[in-house]
Amino acid sequence: MKLDILVFASHPDDAELSCSGTIASHVAKGKKVGIVDLTKGELGTRGSIELREKEALAASKILGIKVRENLELADGFFEVNKESLLKVANCIRKYQPEIILGNAINDRHPDHGKGAKLVEEACFYSGIKRVVTVNAFAPWRPKALYHYIQSNYIEPDFIVDISDFWHIKEKSIRAFKSQFYDPKSREPETYISKPGFLEFLMSRSKMWGQAIGVKYGEGFTVNRKLGVKYLFDLI
């Protein structure tokens, strides 16, 4: 299946937390979107691999994406090496996306920056004819790679209006019930399970929305300058 947008995430729930409004808005416009989680999040303090798989499936249905895969790289310990690069490049060739969304270029969790670098390099190698991947798919290089922003504040290069899709974003996040605040949970508290974490996400989204004159926004960075042929594309 050819996709319009392919989202890579170091952990299940990275995409929902950071760019699910953008995903939902493009699905609503008829675009085919998929998510590839690099790891199963097996080092996570709360929940389990099996539970997070079920939560990811629930979130995927909420977002209306076409496909979700997990590359089963080692949570916390995957590296930007030949093995992982070929796995990611194989996915890029398989789905032939025009646009790729990847992890934040740096963040409090080391896997996020590593994931960003891994995907960036894989985008290059997937376009090289002599690089052979496991399924022998034809070379493919996306037209653009954009990085969503996660916990650390990074000044966005552009902001997507998600005002009409905040409710879907929030619902997709809450699908990961094991990871976020639940007053009945007896599991240890984590950075993202604190009561104020979802409030932080909403506040940041409102801040980015305010910056472009809308209610809610999601910020992204680019690794090359954006270009347009028509000034009205910027309105």
The SS3 assignment for 119 reads helix
Instruction: Return the structure tokens found at 50.
Output: 């099996």
* pLDDT beyond 90 at 168: yes
pLDDT digits (tens, 9 = 90+) for 70-83: 999 999 999 999 99
Distance separating the N- and C-terminal Cα atoms of the chain: 32
pLDDT at 196: 92
pLDDT at 137: 94
- 5-224: CATH superfamily: LmbE-like (3.40.50.10320)
pLDDT digits (tens, 9 = 90+) for 184-233: 888 999 999 998 999 999 999 999 999 999 999 999 999 999 999 999 98
Q: Tell me the backbone φ, ψ of residue 217, rounded to 5 degrees.
A: -145, 160
Q: What is the mean pLDDT of residues 120-142?
A: 96
pLDDT at 86: 98
pLDDT digits (tens, 9 = 90+) for 52-63: 999 999 999 999
Instruction: Give the separation between CA 72 and CA 37, rounded to whole angstroms.
Output: 8
pLDDT at 136: 85
Sign, Cα dihedral of 188, 189, 195, 200: negative
Q: What's the predicted TM-score (pTM) here?
A: 0.95
- Give whole-number Cα distances, 1 to 7, 30, 58, 161, in Å: 15, 15, 21, 27
